[in-house]
Amino acid sequence: MSQVEIKDVRKRYGSAEVIHGVSVDVADGEFVVLVGPSGCGKSTLLRMIAGLEGISGGTISIGGRVVNKITPKDRNIAMVFQSYALYPQKTVAQNMGFSMKIDGRPKAEIDEAVREAAAILGLEPYLDRYPRQLSGGQRQRVAMGRAIVRDPEAFLFDEPLSNLDAKLRVQMRAEIKALHQRLGTTTIYVTHDQIEAMTMADRIVVLNGGRVEQVGPPLELYDNPRNRFVAGFLGSPSINFLDAMVDRRDGVPAARFDNGDVLPVPAWVPDGPLTVGIRPEHLSLSETDSGLRCEIATVEPTGAETLVFANHADQPVTFSLRGRLPHGPGDTLNLTPDPDKVLFFERDGGERILPAHSEAA
Amino acid sequence: MTATLNTTLKWAVLLFFGVFALGPVLWMFMSAFKTTPEILTAPFSLPSEWRWQNIVRTWSEGGFSAYTTNTVIMTVPAVAISVALSTLGGYAFARFRFRGGSVAFFVLLYGLTVPFQALMIPLFYNFSRLGLINQYPGLIAALIAVHLPFGIFLMRSFFVNAQAEIADAARIDGCSEYGVFWHAMLPLAKPGILALTTIFFTDMWKAFLLPLILIQDDARRPLTLGLLFLRDAQGQQQYELLAAGVIIASLPTILLFLATNRYFQRGLVAGSSK
């Protein structure tokens, strides 16, 4: 039983509240990613779970025990930091075994635990080295080894891959995921990188300005964002937002754009101004003259797919297609969105507009 | 052509400052092996004969063995205590928020700006009233007091720049706040501690004014005062013995500086970059 329950947690610095009543339940063995832009409070929340920051309101429980007043060392958690935070004067083995040494465990037991963790992470050849003699990826592995040796109820990761180069980041992402599948330890992972969130999480918690915007499995959030913020935050390249006006001029509900383009919309979409959200992969080249007329600004061929950055009625539109595009900058394309995948958001406030009977997760 | 000129110029400047800095040291070194008449008649020549006995005479007859012991008795505890207090104080100012913390730090920095000459007379009166004149504990306490502001200031800058996440990692690993300091932060500050030790040792070893005010008993004088009062049986100053005394007095600081030079430089630039 090592679930983590966060109930109405608040954090104030003086009179400024930075976390405004966040509630998240992390089930035993679950991998939850806290994601959001810089300053959204995700790292502060993680540090509050770890006990490195005080809690101004609400409760945090780990394994059914309220830990608000409990020191970090007694919370039975392990944390991996962005900067690795290894002790520079200790060897890899000493770094990994330090918590057990402080706990007064016998040397044989410490050695055994360190060896096991090193075997899991492929660190055996480096046990006698110092952190300065290791590469960034190896250092981060040592930091993970240090966490494993503690055999904690929960792993906390604070942007652990941010200091690594792009290729290593992808590799370590897979390693952390594999480690979680192997150990099954409850994991809370903080990142600002939505790709990490999408690829690693069982569930994602999207935070913004110290509030939870939405919680759910990655694809659920991707397909059914509750608001414009979540829709815009998840997905790379980002979703396209196009301002339009809905009316039923010809008896059929349609979204009209400034340049005169018309997009048929479902009947439940109300009249008036709104924002249409279309993901880049949900646009396709139109065979006819209908659709959204876009002028190509730049084309980025990546081999497997082509990214097209264009303008539609002075609003940027990104469009991706498998394969190659026989067009270049300055050309005009007609793009048709997949009608089932188009999202609608209130122009003010950015809340998602949904049919009366359904609700986003 | 320009490159040659540049190189020549560079060497000329280096040579000038090299002579400027090392000239007096060489002059002192050579004088230590001459006789007083030789120093007065041919001040810049090599000694006609290397008189090693000058060093031995200064050490034994000049009382420099006792002065050296006195200097060690004064310097070693004063350095040890001031480095320890500076480290603890610097850590507290860098890592803890406490009521009155910034005021206390300001007052401490103010201590850096007070010239020692302004403290001399009140210090003498207070110490004599407390019966601390001619006492090593009094001298040591005074040395520590005048050195602490700089020490705390330097160590604070080390701890401010030390990676905070290592302290957090130690907390999670099970360290108490004392353990965080001892296991995680103190090892990070090693270059600072070594630099501070070198600075304090050099400064206290050659302390002159404080012992001059607080120590009047010849049996307790340190090397610096020994040099000042060095006379032969007729009460005459003998320059070769003085020069030999300077060599004896400066040797430990030179050796320490050579040993810790690497850390010393790192310590001086602490806080200039992350």
- Segments making up each domain of chain A, as ranges: 4-229, 237-346
Find the closest chain A residue to B173 by CA distance: A99
Tens digits of per-residue pLDDT, B130-171? 999 999 999 999 999 999 999 999 999 989 988 889 999 999
Closest-approach residue (CA) in chain A for B174: A73
Give the residue from B155, B169, B49 showing the smallest Cα distance to A73. B169
- % of chain B residues with pLDDT over 70: 95
Q: What angle do CA B103, B106, B111 make, to 5 degrees?
A: 130
**Total CB pairs under 8 A between chain A and B:** 59
Q: Across the interface, do B166 and A87 touch by the CB < 8 Å criterion?
A: yes
Task: Please answer yes or no on whether B169 and A82 come within 8 Å at the CB atom.
Answer: no
Domain that holds residue B113: 61-268
Q: Determine, for residues B171 and A52 on separate chains, whether the beta-carbon distance falls below 8 Å.
A: yes
Question: Strand A31-35 relative to strand A186-191: parallel, antiparallel, unpaired?
Answer: parallel
| Farthest CA pair distance, chain B | 73
With beta carbons less than 8 A apart as the criterion, state whether A24 and A50 touch. Answer: no
Q: Which of A102, A110, A140, A150 to mutate to test binding with chain B, by most B CBs within 10 Å of its CB? A: A102
Considering only the beta carbons, identify the residue of B174, B175, B188 that sits closest to A88: B188
The fold for domain A4-229 equals: Rossmann fold (3.40.50)
Whole-model pTM: value is 0.82
Smallest CA-to-CA distance from A212 within A26, A31, A28 is with A26
pLDDT of residue B154: 93
Residue B14 falls inside a structural domain: no
Quickly count: other Cβ atoms within 10 Å of residue B108's Cβ: 17
Cα dihedral B187→B191→B194→B197 (10° resolution)? -100
Cβ distance of B183 and A83 shorter than 8 Å: no
Closest-CA distance, B188 to chain A, in angstroms, reads 8
Residues of chain B neighbouring A103 (CB-CB closer than 8 A): 174
In a 10 Å sphere around its CB, with 0-12 CB exposed, 13-18 middle and 19+ buried, how is residue A165 labelled? exposed
C-alpha B92/C-alpha A20 separation (Å) is 32
Cis, peptide link before residue A125, omega less than 30° from 0: no
Chain A residue numbers with beta carbons less than 8 Å from the beta carbon of B177 are none
At A221, list the tokens: 């959030």
**Cross-chain Cβ contact B183/A52 below 8 Å:** no
Task: Compute the distance between CA of residue A307 and CA of residue A32 in angstroms, rounded to an integer.
Answer: 31
* Residue B40 belongs to a domain: no
Block means of pLDDT (10 residues each) for chain A, 361 residues, are 90 93 95 94 95 94 93 92 91 95 94 93 93 91 92 93 88 90 93 92 95 96 96 93 91 90 91 95 85 92 90 92 86 91 93 77 44
Identify the closest residue of chain B to A104 by CA–CA distance.
B174
The tens digit of pLDDT for each residue in B10-28 reads 999 999 999 999 998 899 8
DSSP class of A232: H
Nearest neighbour of A73 by CB, restricted to B166, B171, B190: B171
CB distance B168–A79 less than 8 Å? yes
pLDDT score recorded for residue B90: 95
> Looking at the partner chain, which of B174, B184, B188 has a beta carbon nearest the beta carbon of A99?
B174
Q: For residues B266 and B264, what is the distance between their CA atoms, to the nearest angstrom?
A: 5
For residue B184, give how far its alpha carbon lies from the nearest alpha carbon of chain A (Å).
Answer: 7
Which residue of B163, B179, B190 is in closest CB contact with A102? B179
Which among A85, A102, A103 is the nearest to B166, CB-wise? A85
Is the per-residue pLDDT at B274 higher than 70?
Answer: no
* B173 closest CB neighbour out of A83, A88, A102: A102
Question: Least CA distance to B165: which residue of chain A?
Answer: A85
For residue B182, how many other CB atoms are within 10 A of its CB?
A: 13
Tell me the chain A residues in contact with residue B171 when contact means C-beta distances shorter than 8 Å.
51-52, 71-73
Please enumerate in sequence order all residues whose Cβ is within 8 A of that of A223, keeping only pairs 6 or more positions apart, or say none: none
The CATH number that applies at residue B229 is 1.10.3720.10
Q: Give the tens place of pLDDT for each residue, A298-336.
A: 999 988 889 999 999 889 999 998 888 888 899 998 999
Query: What is the full DSSP assignment across A169-211?
Result: HHHHHHHHHHHHHHH--EEEEEES-HHHHHHH-SEEEEEETTE
Amino acid of residue B236: Q
Q: Please report the pLDDT score of residue B77 as a whole number.
A: 97
Question: CA distances (Å), B264 to each of A345, B82, B196, B259, in order?
Answer: 62, 17, 8, 10
Residue A1: predicted pLDDT: 56
Is the distance from CB of A55 to CB of B156 less than 8 angstroms? no
Best B172, B182, B186, B274 residue to mutate vs chain A (most A CBs within 10 Å): B172
Indicate whether this complex's ipTM tops 0.95.
no
Domain annotation covers residue B90: yes
DSSP A55: -
Residue B271 clears pLDDT 60, i.e. is over it:
no
- The helix (H) or strand (E) run that includes residue B229 is none
Q: What's the alpha-carbon Rg for chain B, to the nearest Å?
A: 23
| CATH topology match: A4-229 vs A237-346 | no
Residue B273 has a pLDDT of: 39
Among B65, B107, B52, B108, CA closest to B240:
B52
Beta bridge partners of A351: A227
Range B51-73 average pLDDT: 90
Distance CA A216, CA A201 (A): 9
Domain A237-346 fold is OB fold (Dihydrolipoamide Acetyltransferase, E2P) (2.40.50)
- What distance in Å separates the CA atoms of residue A243 and residue A257, rounded to the nearest whole number? 7
> How far is the C-alpha of A73 from the C-alpha of A56, rounded, in Å?
20
Entry field: residues in chain B? 274
What single-letter DSSP state applies at residue B47? P
CB contact under 8 A, A88 and B165: no
Tokens at A237, concatenated: 């390249």
Number of domains in chain B: 1
What pLDDT was estimated at residue A214?
Answer: 96
**Position B232 in a domain:** yes
Residue B43 forms part of a structural domain: no
Answer whether the bond into residue A217 is a cis peptide, omega within 30°: no
Task: Using an 8 Å CB-CB cutoff, list residues of chain A that contact chain B.
Answer: 47, 50-52, 71-73, 77-79, 81-83, 85-89, 98-99, 102-103, 146, 150
Q: Which amino acid is at A5?
A: E
Partner residue opposite A87 with nearest CB, options B171, B174, B184: B184
Point out which residues pair with A62 in neighbouring strands. Answer: A4, A65
Q: What residues of B are in contact with residue A86 (Cβ under 8 Å)?
A: 166, 169
- What integer pLDDT is reported at residue A236 of this predicted model? 87
Q: Say if CB B248 and CB B183 are below 8 A apart.
A: no
Contacts of residue A77 in chain B, CB cutoff 8 Å?
A: 172
Report if residue B94 sits inside a domain: yes
- Average pLDDT (B194-201) is 91
Q: Packing angle between helix A92-102 and helix B164-173, nearest 10 degrees?
A: 50
Are the Cβ atoms of A99 and B173 closer than 8 angstroms? yes
Nearest to A85 among B168, B175, B183 (CB): B168
